[in-house]
Amino acid sequence: MGILAKAKGTVYASEAHRIRFEDNYLKDWIAQNKKDVLVKPELKIRSHFKSEKTKKPIVKIETPPPLPKKAKIVNNMLSEGKSPKQVAKTLFENAKYITRIITKYNLPRK
Q: For the chain, give the percent of residues with pLDDT over 90.
A: 39
Specify the 3-state DSSP secondary structure of 103.
Answer: helix
Instruction: Look at residue 10 in the predicted model and tell me its pLDDT.
Output: 75
pLDDT digits (tens, 9 = 90+) for 9-30: 677 778 888 888 889 988 998 8
In terms of DSSP bridges, do strands 10-12 and 5-7 run parallel, antiparallel, or are they unpaired? antiparallel
Q: What is the pTM of this model?
A: 0.45
Nearest-angstrom CA–CA distance, 65 and 58: 20
Nearest-angstrom CA–CA distance, 85 and 17: 72
**Looking at the predicted structure, is the pLDDT value of residue 50 above 60?**
no
Nearest-angstrom CA–CA distance, 16 and 23: 11
> Domain residues of the chain, as ranges?
5-45, 69-104
Instruction: Look at residue 1 in the predicted model and tell me its pLDDT.
Output: 46
DSSP 91: H
